[in-house]
Structure 1
Amino acid sequence: MTTPSDPFRHHPQLRGQIIPPETSRFRNLDLSDMDRQMRGMGLPEDWRRSDENRDQSRRETLQDRWGQDIWIFAYGSLMWDPAFHFSEVRRATLSGYHRRFCLKSEVGRGTPEAPGLMAGLDLGGTCNGLVFKVEAERLEEESHYIWRREMLLRSYAPEFLEMETALGSVEAMAFVVNRENPLLLPPMSLEETARQIAGAEGYLGPNIDYLENLADAFELLRLEDEELFRLRDLARRFRSERA
């Protein structure tokens, strides 16, 4: 049974498929412990954005949004593990941007010797995903977790973009690739991308798990992304060849 206040009223199949915020590892990150681990791996002191710098970005981005509900666009792991409380979720399509495995991961899903690849939102094409609504009264608290989840490093830049849902268009905050990020990679072939994903593993586990989770979310939502499923199949093949 659904009610008007049920976050999953438009997509009941997602109930139980999205990690509850309170149990998300991203909501409960111990940054001091992560700092110690990263230094032990040889990363510099400034391996991540400072808390002050990250909070300045949060306040500048949201300075005209306080007192309003906002939507957050999810096109990668936010789809199944947003780490923030939301009151509504919808399928959404963004035009003018596409999902690309273009961000080198030397810690989370890889190592400096065998970096993994994470998805970013790059210019051109279209991108399917989800939008989550964060209520105005929760925005101050939840935005801290959103920024710690997505803006810990310098991979993304938050932008408010227009996108379409079955219930009409919404303006949602999307984390697009930061073009000044040194870990942003040029385009690669699907085969090169799959080989790199198949061979990488880091602090958060094998890179292929990230790809599998993303493909699972698309199958659950019946979202189309032929390239994503071809990439998953190739990565599976390359992974099995390495075993």
Structure 2
Amino acid sequence: MDEFWVFGYGSLMWNPGFEFLERAEARVHGYRRSLCVRSFVHRGTRDNPGLVLGLDRGGACRGMAFRISPEKWDEVIDYLRARELVTNVYLERRVRLQFVGGRRVEAVSYIVDRDHEQYAGSLDAVEAAQVVNVAKGQSGPNDAYVFNTLAHLKQMGIRDHWLEQVAGEVERLRAA
């Protein structure tokens, strides 16, 4: 492997937690950003799970790619595994990224395991909003997670129409 890239689609985009040589917007095809992971701790409880992001099959996802220096490869992969594989709801996979301009590279990313108990499946925006609106965990309310994610995506110039719909439905529920 000549280069080591990491693809982030959620908090990793604005809070990677590791050193990198280069950061660039990239797109992965065949996967989409989705609130498809039940959160039993940080944004919900086992009795009232919240929803957090996963990279699920279908569509495409804009995110951030990070190029790691060769001397940091082991350190970064160890860090990512400790961060992302706590409950094993994600699978470490190599994905093909495309940068603006067409350049393509392989990157490590974390894809939701559809066989894991925390996989919530494909929810529509209304279903996701109903969960997000009432769930709360150790890291705070689930809706704060969604609104914070959208704010960061907006700062990066990345639109996620589905997540925006979820937020809109949460606001509608609050107003009702």
**TM-score, with normalisation over the residues of structure 2?**
0.91
Are 1:145 and 2:92 an aligned pair? no
Structure 1: gaps of 5 or more residues: 1-64
Q: Amino acid of the residue matched to residue 55 of structure 2?
A: L
Tell me the equivalent position of 1:184: 119
2:66 partner SS: strand
Counterpart CA distance in 1 for 2:87 and 2:3 is 26
Higher RCO by CA contacts (8 Å cutoff, separation 6 or greater): 2
Using the TM superposition, give the Cα deviation of residue 134 of structure 1 relative to its aligned residue in structure 2, in angstroms: 1.5
Count of aligned pairs: 175
Give the conservation status (yes or no) of the 8 Å contact 2:143–2:170: yes
Are 1:197 and 2:132 an aligned pair? yes
Q: Amino acid of the residue matched to residue 180 of structure 1?
A: D
Find the partner of 1:172 among 98, 107, 116.
107
Counterpart CA distance in 2 for 1:239 and 1:201 is 15
Q: Deviations over 1:136-161 (max 9, x none)?
A: 10112222211111111111001111
Q: Deviations over 1:35-86 (max 9, x none)?
A: xxxxxxxxxxxxxxxxxxxxxxxxxxxxxx5xx5311111111112222221
Counterpart CA distance in 2 for 1:171 and 1:143 is 15
User: What's the Cα RMSD here?
Assistant: 1.6
Q: Amino acid of the residue matched to residue 140 of structure 2?
A: G
Give the conservation status (yes or no) of the 8 Å contact 1:69–1:139: no
Give the conservation status (yes or no) of the 8 Å contact 2:35–2:53: yes
Are 1:222 and 2:142 an aligned pair? no
1:211 partner SS: helix
1:121 partner SS: strand
Structure 2: gaps of 5 or more residues: none
2:64 partner SS: strand
Q: Amino acid of the residue matched to residue 79 of structure 1?
A: M
Moved >6 Å (runs of 4+): none
Give the conservation status (yes or no) of the 8 Å contact 2:93–2:109: yes
Structure with bigger strand share is 2
Identity over the aligned pairs, expressed in percent? 33
Q: Deviations over 1:160-196 (max 9, x none)?
A: 1111112511211111111221111222221110111
